[in-house]
Structure 1
């Protein structure tokens, strides 16, 4: 089996999709089922494993301009896929896997990963230009793909139902977290916690892009309902890259910091995330919609109890170990957060059960399930 794997998503800042592509690329590279593995970035084809950069490049400004300009975005949408086609048509005996929604035209043997359908089912949670671009391109991808892969059973069912796809063309390959996400003692992570001026098990944590889909406004509403002494004793720490439509949230972050119950760290290096998770007393993730919800799994793997919403794929990822409620139910979310901060018996049980549950997910299994999908390509 010969495979070309797209690596455009492996870039700064490394989002959940980028991490998925990076981890899967590494596991595919050691699979005995694949005789030849190439990586395609833009129109550059190589056999060298991609690296996950921690800093932006000099082209980031240009990329942001292209995203915001309707003309530039449309020009890119129409021309970039054909550049890939030009490369891929020289490798007709190879399977091409686009791990980030998109497939170029005129490629006979191709697989695509759909991580979620939110640009169709929840468009208000994305910038209009993103919705416009992705809807056009994803409708083309649906027509081009032989085989589809999703991160969760929830997304698999949603994809099948929304596009009326045959069930035997859509496969689930569940995500995982790397071995760095595991429990740590206070001494083991003190250097990272000191870097951010945090105390071991004396803060709660949210990680994710600062954007509407993550429902951070509701999280702040719920946290603000806790008595101020509790909030100041166990502040809310928010780690995430500044996303779109986040100006109001950043003003609320600043207010919480002045009042002594919130710390906004901005985008934190991937190397620091395991320590941030492991040092938290609880992880809070009331997202409106997730195709998988990798941060929930990462928190559980470090032994940190989780409070999350019961929306979309999150019950599937969290299992029975997390406290869950409706994403917009502020009162219940406040009560669950308080339980996660104060109920030591529940903390112990949730930590133990969460680690067991997280151990059922692995990137090796994700690669095996991905290769099983490859084998269905004609």
Structure 2
């Protein structure tokens, strides 16, 4: 799915980093075929391990179909009563939430008044300071942490947001981008790893290490409805590239090729 242990090891839990560092190379050497879920991950693999050569394939994952969304008024119990930008993901360092919050704090007060930031996801690791950052920045009334939500609430959150804000430091794929696009929503995401590939033409790309750049994109997407519509124009078509039917068909072909090659080698 990714090479976080090579490209963003500081964002990982120690045991996960040690496990991947110790076990991935032997697994790659033993495999008949190595399947990556994005061209970016495949390229990173062959760059890091040139001896893999022709064994690497790319097969995009699909996304689960979320339930029909509810009306925006149903989000009131979560404290969501104004237009908002949405983040979806586990709260962990790779998701770059500290820079997203800093960027939000750089926005003019008038922009923040017209667009809250809603952060959806379960607690991960190394992120205990996020609430303190929000509090120290005076953003408690504008930034909301919902915690984990079920699929019906998630669908409603996607359907009623202005855009998805996902300026991750690194992603092997980035499923929330596709989920947001499936609801016809534009995306703010990073210009690194797989995110440009997955988002296609339906995102504003930023340097994830530059809060000012994130803020500029956030401000335009939150204030300019015509720009949002322009960016979102092909979002649903882009999401249509990523289906489990396509994934299954491509994986079946890879299994058949691997079996044929093994039999040919063993003959």
Q: Which runs of 5+ in 2 are unaligned?
A: 263-267
Show the counterpart of 1:134.
20
Show the counterpart of 1:57.
none
1:223–1:118 distance in 2 versus 1, CA, 3 Å:
same
Show the counterpart of 2:182.
301
Q: Which has the higher helix share?
A: 2
SS in 2 for 1:360: coil
Show the counterpart of 1:198.
80
SS in 1 for 2:118: strand
Deviation of 1:270 after TM superposition, in Å, equals: 2.9
> C-alpha separation between the residues in 2 aligned to 1:195 and 1:359?
32
Match of residue 33, structure 2, among 142, 147, 159: 147
In the alignment, is residue 335 of structure 1 matched against residue 216 of structure 2?
A: yes
Q: TM-score, normalised by structure 2?
A: 0.90
1:237–1:354 distance in 2 versus 1, CA, 3 Å:
same
SS in 1 for 2:124: coil
In the alignment, is residue 325 of structure 1 matched against residue 206 of structure 2?
A: yes
Residue deviations 1:50-70, cap 9 Å, x none?
A: xxxxxxxxxxxxxxxxxxxxx
> C-alpha separation between the residues in 2 aligned to 1:166 and 1:324?
31
Show the counterpart of 1:16.
none
> C-alpha separation between the residues in 2 aligned to 1:267 and 1:373?
35
Q: Superposition pairs for residues 244-255 of structure 1, below 5 Å?
A: 244-254=125-135
Deviation of 1:180 after TM superposition, in Å, equals: 2.4
Q: Superposition pairs for residues 218-233 of structure 1, below 5 Å?
A: 218-233=99-114
Show the counterpart of 1:161.
47
Deviation of 1:137 after TM superposition, in Å, equals: 1.7
Deviation of 1:173 after TM superposition, in Å, equals: 1.0
Conserved in 2, the CA contact under 8 Å of 1:256 and 1:262?
no
Q: TM-score, normalised by structure 1?
A: 0.64
Deviation of 1:181 after TM superposition, in Å, equals: 7.2
Conserved in 2, the CA contact under 8 Å of 1:296 and 1:317?
yes
Residue deviations 1:25-48, cap 9 Å, x none?
A: xxxxxxxxxxxxxxxxxxxxxxxx
1:304–1:256 distance in 2 versus 1, CA, 3 Å:
farther
Deviation of 1:258 after TM superposition, in Å, equals: 6.2
SS in 2 for 1:307: strand
Residue deviations 1:137-188, cap 9 Å, x none?
A: 2122123221111110110111122122444311111023233278x5xxx4
Show the counterpart of 2:265.
none
Number of residues of Structure 1 aligned to a counterpart in Structure 2: 259
Q: Superposition pairs for residues 172-187 of structure 1, below 5 Å?
A: 172-180=58-66
SS in 2 for 1:346: helix
Residue deviations 1:3-30, cap 9 Å, x none?
A: xxxxxxxxxxxxxxxxxxxxxxxxxxxx
Conserved in 2, the CA contact under 8 Å of 1:147 and 1:376?
no
Match of residue 149, structure 2, among 268, 291, 296: 268
